[in-house]
Amino acid sequence: MTEKQAVVTLKDAQIYQGSSLILSNVNLSIYKGEFVYLIGKTGSGKSSLLKTLYGNIPLQKGYGDVCGFKLTDLTWKNVPFLRRNLGIVFQDFQLLTDRNVNENLLFVLRATGWTDKNLMQEKIDSVLGKVGLKGKGGKMTYEMSGGEQQRVDIARALLNNPKLILADEPTGNLDPDTSDEIMQLLQSICADYDTAILMATHDYSILQKFRSRIIRTEHGQVTDNASVVY
């Protein structure tokens, strides 16, 4: 039997926000191709945990490894290399509204070192096809529905073949039907690309409809129980 490959490993990690200890003694592993929910009340440490994983908050104590990068060794110089292995999906999309879909995706590819125009266009066409936006590269982002904008955000996260996608409330601004479509898309990416996904959410109806492993932040701790039922 092939041993599962961990893309996130935290051991006795202390998650700080400035000088304030937010989460203590965090022990956590997330494996390649695994879909995991991150839940917890506002202010319980979800965002701090996500920011630590993508290098926005330094890990001061304990051990952390994300996609082969040791978190305690990160500097401003090598954080971009970590992020090339990650995809980040935001609740508010954070798209460039003065550019069309193609230009939004080209911006990311150039920023992460791509130079070949033909390869860049092939990659853009591929990810837009995956998220159901084939042929919409020329559309301005502000002309798109919330669901379409979230699909562009997910396409952007896929550009560099990430080992891990961190999704922060990706359905938070969407209606229930559109939320279901985005969840189905995320789960298909997880299965088809063998990409691990850690998704923060407040939407408990999603937890019931699309069941998966659940991690909770509560009272300064992280609890992990794959058998939790809501």
Its CATH class, for the domain covering 33-56+76-224, is alpha beta
Query: Going by C-beta distance under 8 Å and a sequence separation of 6 or more, which residues neighbour residue 94?
Result: 153
Domain boundaries, the chain: 33-56+76-224
Count Cβ atoms below 10 Å from residue 145 Cβ, excluding itself. Answer: 11
Q: Residue 227: its pLDDT value, please?
A: 44
Give the H/E segment covering residue 147: helix 146-158
Q: What is the pLDDT along the chain (230 residues), one digit of tens a residue?
A: 456 899 999 999 999 988 899 999 999 999 999 999 999 988 899 999 999 999 999 999 999 999 999 999 999 888 888 988 999 897 777 888 899 999 999 999 998 889 999 999 999 999 999 999 999 999 999 999 989 999 999 999 999 999 999 999 999 888 999 999 999 999 999 999 999 999 999 888 999 999 999 999 999 999 986 544 33
- Cα 6 from Cα 227, distance rounded (Å): 20
What residue has token string 């945990």? 49
- Cα 63 from Cα 65, distance rounded (Å): 7
Return the biggest CA–CA distance within the chain: 51
Paired sense of beta strands 164-168 and 86-89, if any: parallel
